[in-house]
Amino acid sequence: MKRAVGERVKALIRTVPDFPIPGIRFRDVMGLTEDADGFRAATDALAERFRERAPEVVVGIEARGFIFGAPVAQRLGRGFVAVRKAGKLPGEVRGADYALEYGTARVEMQAGAIAAGTRVLLIDDLIATGGTAAAAVALIRGMGGVVVGAGFVVDLPGLPGAGRLREMGVEVFALCAFGEGD
């Protein structure tokens, strides 16, 4: 059953060659969201995978983490909190920086969105290098939250992201993976 969901999800994800730059094979999850049954199966599977971890809130990373995180939160009967790029949230925020190929970037969350001791499930569409996800974990932990897991639609195991999160002590799960030959 679980394997069938992963295969179905993978079949709905488009590979776009040379986007956003030549040599990159972009994994476009929008084909999955366009298929109502596939989208439902994906969000159901993510929710069920982490139900026993008893998250109290689901955090989604901008932008596609919102698409998958909000329905996962709804299925779990929990609230949803957004991690956004710097400067996108009103009011007082907390932030964490992360490295880019040439420089740094920052993600932010509204202050008080995560209370100390809150059990948090992190959701995003794809884990690649892990920079944004690691920054989100640091941000959640910096607010006193406890990350009970990180769920993704796609893992790119040729890149260090999932391993990076595991080194931080985070349980990582992805519905499907794309290797170099996929």
Beta-sheet pairing, 103-110 with 79-85: antiparallel
Condensed to tens digits (0 to 9), the pLDDT of residues 73-90 reads 999 999 999 999 999 999
Exactly one of 64, 78, 84, 164 is catalytic; name it.
64
Residue 64 appears among annotated catalytic residues: yes
Burial 8-30 (b: 16+ CB within 10 A, else e): bbbebbeeeeeeeeeeeeebbbe
Residue 108 appears among annotated catalytic residues: no
Q: Could you tell me the pTM of the whole model?
A: 0.95
- Is the pLDDT at 3 greater than 70? The verdict is no
Q: What is the pLDDT of residue 1?
A: 45
Spell out the domains of the chain, with CATH numbers in brackets: 2-177 (3.40.50.2020)
Q: What is the pLDDT of residue 94?
A: 97
Q: DSSP 3-state assignment of 18?
A: coil
Residue 104 amino acid letter: T
Residue scoring higher pLDDT (118 or 101): 118
Exactly one of 52, 92, 101, 180 is catalytic; name it.
101
* Distance, CA of 34 to CA of 38 (rounded, Å): 8
Q: What is the mean pLDDT of residues 41-47?
A: 98
Strand ranges, E, within the chain: 14-17, 25-28, 57-61, 79-85, 93-100, 103-110, 119-127, 146-155, 172-177
Q: What is the pLDDT of residue 59?
A: 98
Separation in Å, CA 177 to CA 87, 98, 154: 32, 24, 5
